[in-house]
Amino acid sequence: MAEIELPNPEELEEKSRNSFTKKVALFTAIYAVALAICSLGGNNSMKEMLLAQQEATNQWAFYQAKNVREYLYRIEKDRLETQLVERGDSMKQSVLKHYKTEIQKVSAEEARLSKDKQAISVEARKQEHERDINRAKDPYFDFGEVLLQIAIVMSSVSIISNSRPVFFFSLGAAAIGSLITLNGFLLLVRIPFLH
C-alpha cells in the first residue's frame, strides 16, 4: 500500500494566512480606488463651489453697476423734466422738442438698464444655486474620505493581526464611506448632521 503524506499543519496555516492576506490586499486596493474617486469628487465640488461664488459675485457687481447707471439716468430725467416745467413756456419750439427727445432717450435707457438688471439677477441667482448645490455635496465627500481612510488602515491592521473581525469592520467602514461618497455625487439623501 502506498504511503499517504499528511500535510504539515504549519504549512496549512501559512497557506490560509496567505489566502486571507491576498484577499485583504485586494480589498485594500479597491478601498484606495474608492478613496481616489471620493477625493476627486470633493476637490471638484470645492472648485465648482468657489467658481460659482465668484461668478455670482461678478454678476451682482455687474447688477450694481447697472443699478448706479439706471439711477444716474433717473436723476438726469428728473432734472430735464424739472427744467422743462420751470422754463417750458419760455422755450423755443426747437429747444422744447430737444428736451422732450432727450427725456425719451434717457427714459428708454433707464428702462433698458432695468431690464438688463433683471436678466443679470437671474444669472446671479443661478450661480448662487450652483454654489449651494456644491456646498451641500462637500461634507459627504469629506466624511466618505474619512471612512475610506479608516477602512484602509483597518484592513492593514487586519493583515498584520490576521484578524477577520477587524477586516469585516474595514468592509463596513468602506461600504458606508462609498455610499456617502455616492450620495455626494448624486445628493439622493440629505443627512441632517452633515449640513
pLDDT digits (tens), the chain, 195 positions: 556 665 566 765 666 668 899 999 999 999 999 999 999 999 999 999 999 999 999 999 999 999 999 999 999 999 999 998 998 778 888 988 998 999 999 999 999 999 999 999 999 999 999 999 999 999 999 999 999 999 999 999 999 999 999 999 999 999 999 999 999 999 999 998 877
What number of residues does the chain have?
Answer: 195
Classify residue 6: in a domain, yes or no: no
Q: What is the pLDDT of residue 193?
A: 84
CB 45 within 8 A of CB 184: yes
Classify residue 7: in a domain, yes or no: no
Classify residue 4: in a domain, yes or no: no
Q: What domain count does the chain have?
A: 1
Number of H helices and E strands in the chain, helices first, is: 3, 0
Instruction: Quickly tell me which residue has 461618497 as its cell.
Output: 181
Q: Which domain holds residue 50?
A: 24-194
Rounded to the nearest 10 degrees, the angle between the axes of helix 9-87 and helix 93-161 is 170
Classify residue 17: in a domain, yes or no: no
Q: What is the pLDDT of residue 12?
A: 55
This model's pTM is above 0.85: no
How far apart CA 31 and CA 175 sit, in angstroms, is 9
Classify residue 91: in a domain, yes or no: yes
Classify residue 141: in a domain, yes or no: yes
